[in-house]
Amino acid sequence: MATTTTPTTSAATSSAPAPAAPGVDVARAVRVGAIGSVALAFVAAIGMLQTFDNRVVFVPFLSLGDVIFFAVPLVTGYLAGVVPPGPMGGTPRVSAARALLGAAIAGVVVAALPAVLIATLRSDLDLRRTFPNLSPGLAQILTLGQEGAAGYLALLAVCVGLALVGGALLLTEERMRRAVVRGVEIVLVLALIELIARQFLGNLGLGALHQRLYVTNSGLRWLPAVVLFVLFTAVSYVLAGRRASARERMLRTGPERQRRSLIVTLVLAAALLVMPMLVGSIVNELFVNVGLFMLMALGLNIIVGYSGLLDLGHVTFFAVGAYGMAVLTSPASPGFAPELGWWLALPIIVAMAAAAGIFVGTPVIRLRGDYLAIVTLGFAAILERLFISDWLRPYFGGAQGIRRIPGVSVGATTVSGTDPRAMLYLTIGFVLVAVYVSWRLQGSRIGRAWAALREDETTAQAMGVDTTKAKLMAFVAGAMISSFAGALFAAKVGSVFPNSFELLVSIVILVIVIVGGMGHIPGVLLGAVVLIGILGGPRLPGLLQEFQDYKMLIYGTLLVYMMLMKPEGLLPSVRRTRELHQEEFLQDAWFDKKGHFTDDPDATGAEVAVTEASAPPIAGDAADGTEPR
Amino acid sequence: MRMLRKGVRTAAIVAAASLVLTACGNGDTADLTDDTEADADATGDEETDDPGDDPDEDAAEAGDLGSVTYQEGEAIQIRSLEAISGDVAFLGIPNQRGTEIAIADYGDVQGFAVELGTPLDDLCSADGGQSAAQTIVSDDTVAGVIGTSCSGAGVPASELISSAGMVMVSASNTNPALTQTPFGTEGENFSEGYYRTAHNDLYQGAAVAEFVYEELGLTQMAAIHDGDPYTDGLTTAFQDAFTELGGEVVVYTAVNKGDTDMVPVLTEVAGENPEGIFVPIFPPEVNRVAEQYVNVEGLEDVVMISADGAQVEGFLEIAEAEGFYFSGPSLQFEGNNNEITDKSATDFLEDYQEQYGEAPSAAFWAHAYDATTLLLQAIDNVAEVGDDGSLTIDRAALRDELYSTSFQGLIGQITCDEFGDCGAGEIQIILHEDSSVTDATQIPVVYTFVPSE
Amino acid sequence: MTATDPPRTQAPSLFTRARRRLTWVDSFLWVIRVGAVLLIAWGLIGSIQRFTAGLGPTGSQWRDLLVAAIAFGAMYGLIAIGYSMVYGVLGFINFAHGEVFMSGAFIGYFAATALSNGGLWQSNPIIAMLLTLLVSMATSTFMAVLVERVAYRRLRSSPRLIPLITSIGVSFFLQYSFLGLFGATVRTYPTLPPFMTGNIDILGVPVQRSQLLVIVVAAVAMSGLWQFVTRTKTGRAMRAVAEDKEIAALMGINVDRTIVTTFAVGGAMAGIAGMLYGQLYGVSFFMGFLPGIKAFTAAVLGGIGVIPGAMAGGVLLGLFEGVGPLLILGGLGIASPSQLRDAVAFSALVLVLIFRPSGLFGEAVGAEDRA
């Protein structure tokens, strides 16, 4: 019925028009649909749809569960029509038939497994001993509340309909597509932050505006939602036209970029100073947690991002800071209770962390990448066990931890977790210090030594870089910054228990650094805001209660996705992107800005790639797998 | 040299920052009491209408902590803060559901509905409890909280909620420091406005020690905990009490959560020839201990005692659990009626089964039910309906009301003393001999311990 | 070392050579080495003293502990094979292998329960257990191959740390998927058939039948695997690819297919371990993480890339972890030594990686890779 043709490219002439679009690829549509079906059934079976169904986003029609339910066929429909890049690269135009018909086929397939699920749920078969999340409520969601055969029809309609929408998206111009996606993202986020908006607008005296837009303790009202969606889509569309392509933005250097950076920095700084006054204490508390993770991520960034040393046990330094502060300041510290003030104890903590950095760093100096990672993991695990042990209970409190840690005395008052606003200002202060230190380190001589170390250790050694000292300095610097987080944490919560320092925390920090942008400070900060702010840490809640059960799953998925697709992170540094996408850049030498094949050197981005030497981003490894073990 | 320069620069920045912050003078602790006033007041201004409220002082005068007002048509807000996710969910979920059922049973408070809102998760950790409590206290429409499940979370949560002027009643916190010491003085982590219907673990440790020493006549015991502050607290309390009675804890050791091979720790225990083992740990570790101890030479005849953490179906149903003693709060709810809602334990369990499709997975549901009715009745007694049909609850009056409440609940007589201990605090020891009985309330009691005041 | 050294006219003495090579990093490491040896010796002496004084476990209690530790180590060995093989062929640590083990145990549980409900488990336990074993192996194999196809294939030519980080992500994804799908309760297999309970006398030593089962199954699996790797064509292909991927491709070996086979075989071994472990210790979503890391320790102990080394390392680790805390730490007088069992295992990991990364049977690694 359908023909599958490969894209034809016209060979030698420069700036040839886009190749003719191929026909419907049924095989691909079915395959993508099957994957989508499994994904939808999976998301249903883990209970995500039901949990998120409690969170209404667009009153009164859509809940977050519905949004996820709809997103799956939408994405599937979109992907069903995508034409894989041909042997010469480039993205051919897609025909309407291919997009829509393919999407429809995919949509039908997507409905398959959920239909089976509905049938099972409606029958007498109770699978809840095996799959505790397959409750009858799930059937309600999947069938949009319809009974009997109408339910299956509803499911089919949703799947096919949304797949078609996805397919239609494929047909729109890229700019419009991006604008629509951006619009949806923004409106969704706005709907989810109802509580924050309530406090923010309330503190500004705009409570009435909040009432117009939102329903209290719920989501956005649907009419304002639609209006906002149209507004933001339009704005994104207009702005996209103005903005230069990503590649050009990355290439921009010199005074223009510096000026831009300065303006952005000043605006952000002003916002930072004012924000804690304007939002309520939930947000302040949330941002304190974000700030703590920012500090740890900045510390890890120096070790992983700048120096290319994979540290899987970074929570060690956080623990040193927290337990150190507990022992030094708390009157309840068993064994040794000097009861110093927080500020007085801080330099001691930092020194201890530096020592810890040396202790962890020295044995691993001569190890190659993966063994280094495992040894750091081992150290963190050993330390965790030591803190909880009965053996060291006379010093660290064992399972009971150390309580009654006083807060930070600032002027006449004591700042602790009961006052999130002050705590946030304090945390922001430390984050700024850490950012400044990281930034200066990156541009300093040791920073360049780290970069050399990351790119190729042997060459760096041959060029005279003292790699031993560089590695140790990386660990020491990272440890010192992370110990700030520990010290603040101890004062904030007022007690330290060993289970706050589990291995999971190290992994989460690693995810933040990687997803945000390895080696790039704004990226790391953004990663912390997005991940900890929305999902929360291993034992800290994020913005939404509903994510609690699924956040580690999302972290794992994110890590895999980013590693496969975009290892440089969400907000990457220019250099890292070049390193990691070496091959694509080399290929781009043959394509003009529209993605058409050309051999006109003036039209291409050839200046970008040709002269760079191949550069693996993490120290001690060749780019291929054939190095001797 | 460079390092030194950098270090000096960093130190200078830190010092400058601290000077600035010091100069900023009075911080924002007064701000929190702002939140307790009605919505309309929030302007971000530092002024407080109430006179300087020091949360540490006893709130003796009414009006000191502000009040919360609900307009006609609005619902009274209370919150549930339990451990409802991850591997400890089996502890917190029955409490949350107990609260839900209690709210449904109680009905309206002077014509105003009561809403629970989104159930919050204490993550069974101090930082989780603190963050969740922060969410609660920043919503000034909340009148009271039922929670937490884990004592570790209870410490910072109670502190926060107390300084916000709200009240919290816990159904499962058993850590002694939260209310009072055995000497009748304020506990280390005592907070004004914190109450609990659960018992105090010091008494549970003493109960087990007494039972073992006097009833069973054993003088050499082993104790094993699992690194959880609750179990560790229990074994410590047991050790102290047992030693005082004249016994000896010949080996005090621990496993880790997630351990499956118990042979090494049991060999360690066997090496000291104990007559019994007090192992108040949770499933699945306690299951492994039960399965493996019979194979360790020297432990064939030891007496095994666990605690209420293991009084769950997941452990009671296995054959190897037969013969175990369990200590725990008195669960003899037979014939007890919660006089506020006139509900018996049997009715509750029927409702629970019908609504949630299963029996409660842990033993504190009755404590949660009573805690909720305690709170609701106090609110009812204190709330005043104004001329415009709005309902006002004075927070200080609510606290005082709770401190002076006394009624008959599912768990027995509920009387709150000045430190917030409301439950009867009775401990029972049960002997589990039939693995087909998985409901702890049906297992025969062999010993009862009443704390002597 | 420096350009300004005067040219030497005679060979420097041994002492001078030794002193010149000793940097402070070396000194630090020597301190750790000596410290570890001293600690272990001191602990041993302490335990021996206690033993001769009649304190602590009796000889037969120690013996039983030893046997139990070996049996547990055999399971580590089975899991370690997967790590060793993947590392040998692709050169990275597959963190997700612990979850491959977990998935086999988990699905095996469902099979076992179904068989138990159907009565086959009670009436014909051997067939039932074999069927369960098959299900467990199939699941683990499927999971290993799936992970390779979805996550690792694309990263074949990436720097070696990228697949490692990806495998961490996969590990978490699998763990929490199982949590989401099946819940957090720890489930136990149906009770062992009567002939599997109780003790059996081997050369006068009472060994639990379940322990014997583990050791026998592990031994059979190992020898089967050894035959496969040394005698069959696929096995030779695997060894060739492990040696040098490019040359193997030039020799006509289908590298892709061989890699898939490697993952599959490693997964199958983990499935066997999964069924045994699940039967004896229950299944849950988090059961794979820690045993996974420990199994990696075992693989390194024995020599990464060397298959019999993986089993040897497993047994060795089982001994360290099972007997070590009581023997060494107890001998040192440390309170609650059993609580530090994981610390002992991880210390073994750290010490081996720092001081002898080639392990027991591995080839000596070059100087730049060793501390």
In this prediction, what percent of chain C has a pLDDT beyond 70?
Answer: 92
The predicted-structure confidence for A510-522, as pLDDT tens digits, reads as follows 999 999 988 889 8
- Is the CB of B361 inside 8 Å of chain A's CB atoms? no
Q: How confident is residue A256, by pLDDT bands cut at 50, 70 and 90? A: low
- The confidence score (pLDDT) of residue A572 equals 76
Do B156 and A494 meet the contact criterion of CB atoms below 8 Å apart? yes
The answer, yes or no, to whether residue C362 has pLDDT greater than 80, is no
pLDDT value at position A151? 84
Which pair of tokens denotes residue B147?
A: 């929670």
Report the C-alpha gap between B195 and B60 in whole angstroms. 17
Question: How many Å apart are CA B43 and CA A278, to the nearest integer?
Answer: 9
- Tell me the mean pLDDT in the region C305-333: 91
Q: Which of A403, A436, A442, A504 to mutate to test the interface with B (most CBs of B within 10 A)?
A: A403
Question: Residue B3: what pLDDT?
Answer: 53
The verdict on a CB contact (< 8 Å) between B258 and C286 is yes
Q: Does C173 contact chain A (CB < 8 Å)?
A: yes
- Domain presence at residue C302: no
Tell me which of C186 and B331 has the higher pLDDT: C186
CB contact under 8 A, A553 and C110: no
Q: List alpha helices for C14-160, DSSP H.
A: 14-21, 24-52, 59-90, 97-118, 120-123, 125-147
| Listed range (A382-391, A560-569, B248-257) with the worst mean pLDDT | A560-569
Q: Is the pLDDT of residue B216 over 80?
A: yes
Contact between residue B250 and residue B273 where contact means Cβ atoms under 8 Å apart = yes
Q: How confident is the model at residue C3 (pLDDT cuts 50, 70, 90)?
A: low
Question: Average pLDDT for residues A180-186, to the nearest whole number?
Answer: 86
For residue B6, give the nearest of A307, A440, A468, A349 by alpha carbon: A440
Percent of chain B whose predicted confidence (pLDDT) is above 70:
85
Q: Which of the pair, A3 or B307, is modelled with greater confidence?
A: B307
In a domain? residue C223: yes
pLDDT grade, residue B58 (50/70/90)? very low
Percent of chain C with pLDDT over 90: 54
The most distant pair of C-alpha atoms in chain C lies apart, rounded to whole Å, by: 87
Q: Which domains does chain A have, with CATH numbers?
A: 19-171 (no CATH), 174-242 (no CATH), 283-578 (1.10.3470)
Residues of A in contact with B132 (CB under 8 A): 541
> Which amino acid belongs to residue C122?
Q
> Is the bond preceding residue B284 a cis peptide, omega within 30 degrees?
yes
Task: Please determine, for residue A424, whether its predicted confidence score (pLDDT) is greater than 70.
Answer: yes
Residue A594 has pLDDT above 80, yes or no: no
pLDDT digits (tens, 9 = 90+) for A11-69: 444 444 445 455 677 888 888 899 999 999 999 999 888 888 888 888 788 888 888 99
pLDDT at B147 over 50: yes
Read off the pLDDT band of C205 (50, 70, 90). confident
Reply yes or no: is the peptide bond before residue C325 cis, omega within 30 of 0.
no
Q: Answer whether residue C370 shows pLDDT above 50.
A: no
Helices and strands in chain C, H and E counts: 15, 2
**Chain C touched by B229 (CB under 8 Å):** no
Q: Tell me how far apart the alpha carbons of residues C263 and A356 are, in angstroms, rounded to a whole number.
A: 38
∠ CA B309-A380-A288 to the nearest 5 degrees?
80
Which chain B residues have a beta carbon less than 8 Å from that of A412? 25-27
Kindly give, in sequence order, each residue whose CB lies less than 8 Å from that of residue B182, ignoring residues fewer than 6 positions away.
B176, B202
Choose the weakest-confidence range: A593-607, B168-182, C339-353: A593-607
- Spell out the domains of chain B, with CATH numbers in brackets: 67-199+332-424 (3.40.50.2300), 202-330+429-449 (3.40.50.2300)
For residue C186, the Cα-to-chain-centroid distance in whole angstroms is 23
Distance CA B271, CA B299 (A): 9
Position A243 scores a pLDDT of 58
Number of H helices, E strands in chain B: 13, 20
Structural contact between residues B270 and B298, judged by C-beta atoms closer than 8 angstroms: yes
Mean pLDDT of A185-196: 83
Check whether A304 has a pLDDT greater than 80: yes
Pick from C97, C171, C176, C297 the residue to mutate for testing the A interface (most A CBs within 10 Å).
Answer: C176
> Greater confidence, A244 or B88?
B88
Whole-number pLDDT of residue C320: 93
C161 to chain A: which residues are within 8 Å by CB? 310, 369-370, 373, 618, 621
Q: Which residue has the higher pLDDT, A253 or A629?
A: A253
| Predicted confidence band of residue A169 (pLDDT cuts 50, 70, 90) | confident
The pLDDT value recorded for residue B363 is: 77
Q: A303 versus B337: which is more confidently predicted?
A: A303
Q: Give the model confidence (pLDDT) of C294-305 as tens digits.
A: 999 999 999 888
User: Residue B323's closest CA among B203, B222, B443?
Assistant: B443
What is the average per-residue pLDDT within A312-336?
A: 92
C159-181 burial: b if 16+ Cβ within 10 Å, else e:
bbbbbbbbbbbbbbbbbbbbbbb
C neighbour chains, 3+ CB pairs within 8 Å: A, B
Give the total number of structural domains in chain C: 1
Which tokens hold the place of B422? 């409301």
pLDDT over 90, % of chain A: 27
Chain A: residue nearest C241 by CA? A626
Q: Band of the pLDDT at B59, cuts 50, 70, 90?
A: very low
Predicted confidence at residue A397, as pLDDT, reads 87
Q: Strand pairing partners for B28?
A: none
B379: nearest Cα among B201, B54, B144: B144
Query: What are phi and psi for residue B431, nearest 5 degrees?
Result: -115, 120
Which residue is associated with the tokens 């040299």? B1
Token pair 């939808």 in the structure block, residue: A40
**pLDDT (0 to 100) of residue C108:** 95
Report B:129-158 residues touching A (Cβ under 8 A).
130-132, 134-135, 137-139, 152, 155-156
- Please, what is the Cα angle at A194 between A188 and A195, to 5 degrees? 145
Question: For residue C1, is it within any domain?
Answer: no
Q: ∠ CA C368-C369-C370 to the nearest 5 degrees? A: 95
Measure the CA angle with vertex B42, ends B37 and B48; round to 5°. Answer: 60
Reduced to 3 states, what is the DSSP secondary structure of residue B409? strand
Beta bridge partners of A515: none
pLDDT at res. B60: 41
Average pLDDT of B350-360? Answer: 85
Kindly determine whether residue C159 and residue A622, on different chains, have CB atoms separated by under 8 Å: yes
Asked whether residue C69 is assigned to any structural domain, the reply reads no
Q: What is the DSSP letter of C325?
A: I
Q: Is C165 on the interface with A (CB under 8 A)?
A: yes
Give the pLDDT score at A407: 87
Look at residue C279 in the predicted model and tell me its pLDDT.
Answer: 92
> Would you place residue C66 in the very low, low, confident or very high pLDDT band (cuts 50, 70, 90)?
very high
Mean pLDDT along residues B84-99: 85
Identify which has the larger pLDDT, C22 or A16. C22
Asked if residue C38 has pLDDT above 90, the reply is: yes
What's the rounded Cα separation, in Å, for the pair B228 and B151? Answer: 10
Measured between beta carbons, the chain A residues lying within 8 angstroms of C92 are 370
pLDDT tens digit string along C144-176?
999 999 999 988 888 878 899 999 999 999 999
The pLDDT score that the predictor gives to residue B6 is: 53
Q: What is the mean pLDDT of residues A213-235?
A: 85
As to burial, measured by CB atoms within 10 angstroms (0-12 exposed, 13-18 middle, 19+ buried), residue B194 is buried
Mean pLDDT is lowest, of A133-142, A431-440, A448-457, A569-578, for A569-578
Please name the residues between 178 and 207 in chain C that touch chain B, using a CB distance below 8 Å.
184-186, 188, 191, 199
SS3 sequence of A526-591: HHHHHHHHHHCCCCCCCCCHHHHHHHHHHHHHHHHHHHHHCCCCCCCCHHHHHHHCHHHHHHHCCE
pLDDT single digits (tens) C82-107: 899 998 888 889 999 999 999 999 99
Size of interface A-B (CB pairs under 8 A): 169
Q: What is the pLDDT of residue C6?
A: 60
Which residues on chain C are in Cβ contact (under 8 Å) with A45? 180-181
Residue C26's pLDDT band, with cuts at 50, 70 and 90, is confident
Neighbours of A612 (CB within 10 A): 13
**In the prediction, which pLDDT does A253 show?**
59
CA-nearest residue of chain A to C337? Answer: A391
Report residue A83 as tokens: 């034409």
State the pairing for strand pair B76-82/B114-115.
Answer: parallel
**Confidence label for B361 from pLDDT (cuts 50, 70 and 90):** confident
Say what the pTM is. Answer: 0.85
Closest-CA distance of chain A to residue B129, Å: 8
Q: Please report which confidence band the pLDDT of residue B57 belongs to, taking 50, 70 and 90 as the band edges.
A: very low
Show the domain range for C121: 81-294
What's the confidence (pLDDT) of residue A615? 39
Q: Considering only residues B58 and A495, tell me which one the structure prediction assigns the higher pLDDT.
A: A495
Chain C nearest-CA distance from B448, in A, is: 31
Comparing CB atoms, the residue among B252, B254, B271 nearest residue C57 is B271
| Distance in Å, alpha carbon of C12 to nearest chain A alpha carbon | 25
Residue A55 is which amino acid?
Answer: R
Computed over every residue of chain B, the mean pLDDT equals: 81
Q: Look up the ipTM and state it.
A: 0.89
Q: What integer pLDDT is reported at residue C92 of this predicted model?
A: 86
Contact B128 A541 (CB under 8 A): yes
**Alpha-carbon separation of residue C114 from B174, B435, C24, C105, C139 (angstroms):** 41, 22, 62, 14, 16
Nearest to B330 by CA among B417, B446, B419, B186: B446
For residues C13-39, give the mean pLDDT. Answer: 76
Subunit partners of chain A (3 or more CB pairs within 8 A): B, C
Residue C328 lies in a domain: no
Residue B45: band (very low, low, confident or very high) from pLDDT cuts 50, 70, 90: very low
Q: Would you call C65 an interface residue with chain B, using a CB distance cutoff of 8 Å? A: yes
Quote the minimal CA–CA distance from B86 to chain C in Å: 7
Tell me what the pLDDT averaged over chain C comes to: 87
- The percent of chain C in helix, strand and coil, each rounded to the nearest 5, is 75, 5, 20
| pLDDT at site B138 | 76
B242 touches B216 (CB < 8 A):
no
Q: Between B317 and C19, name the one with better pLDDT.
A: B317
pLDDT at B101 over 60: yes
* Least confident range of A208-222, A453-467, B269-283: A208-222
Residue with token string 């190749």: A19
In a domain, C316, yes or no: no
The pLDDT of residue A22 is 59
